[in-house]
Structure 1
Amino acid sequence: MSPRPHGRRLVPHYLATGGRAHDDRVPLERLSVLMAAAPADPSELSPGQRRVLDILPVGCSLPLAEVAAHLELPFSIARVLAADLVEAGYLRSRPPIPPAQQPDRDILEKLINGLYALKS
């Protein structure tokens, strides 16, 4: 789905999802991490779903927001496509790590500075 020369899309984004704007079956957030779970049969996937799987080969993981950016799609469209793939078993998703469980930035900076000091 490339943009036309004068900026208007030939096919609107919402057609990639069959007109659905959201999908409540699989809760996905902007920072939910998506990972390929199984090889897909391209004949049973929509072009949008194939594009999602093309940027997520087995062993690769990306947050949903980055998937939307790579595909140059609105987040809501990418979320519906990804939810369909998670439900079909082609993708796995993991919720984002809560801020309380993330490592302390000061400790990480001290660790990096200490490693640089060992190197020199």
Structure 2
Amino acid sequence: MTVEDQWFDDEAGPVVRLFSMTRGRTRPTEEGLFDLISLITAVHRDGAGESDLDLEHRAILDLCRDEPLSVAELGSFTDMPVSLVRVLLGDLHDSGLISVTRPVPLAQLPDERLLRDVINGLRAL
């Protein structure tokens, strides 16, 4: 077996490095925007701006057209690592082709003790 045989499999095709899909980028342009549970929705633009997209970008857009999907779901459905999905989502976000709904930060959620007091107060009525 030669060295070339190790990097090419007739059944699977040639090996493509992930950084080639992102043109060498490892992070989206806006750091922290794409949490695992952030919901991604495709913005309906009648195909405007989509003609020059890569196959991976189009696959993500197609998945998000009917219903919002989380970043983790997109990674699973596309069979791509989440780090790669985040970079591709950054490209789509910069182009205005997706909208992102981020989860509520824990600091902004009501305190559990306060919720118990409200429930106890309602029960007392």
Give TM-score, length-normalised by structure 2: 0.66
Partner of 1:16: 21
- SS of the residue corresponding to residue 38 of structure 1 reads coil
**Match runs of 1:48-63 below 5 Å:** 48-57=56-65, 59-63=66-70
Give TM-score, length-normalised by structure 1: 0.69
C-alpha separation in 2, matches of 1:91 and 1:67? 13
Report how many residues are paired. Answer: 100
The answer as to whether partners of 2:28 and 2:89 remain within 8 angstroms in 1 is no
Q: 1:56 to 1:9 in 2, by over 3 A?
A: farther
Partner of 2:51: 43
C-alpha separation in 2, matches of 1:64 and 1:56? 10
Partner of 1:32: 38
Q: Which stretches in structure 2 are left out of the alignment for 5+ residues?
A: 1-8, 113-125
- SS of the residue corresponding to residue 34 of structure 1 reads strand
Of residues 82, 89, 92, the one that matches 1:82 is 89
Partner of 2:80: 73
- Larger Rg: 1 or 2? 2
C-alpha separation in 2, matches of 1:97 and 1:9? 42
Q: Which stretches in structure 1 are left out of the alignment for 5+ residues?
A: 105-120
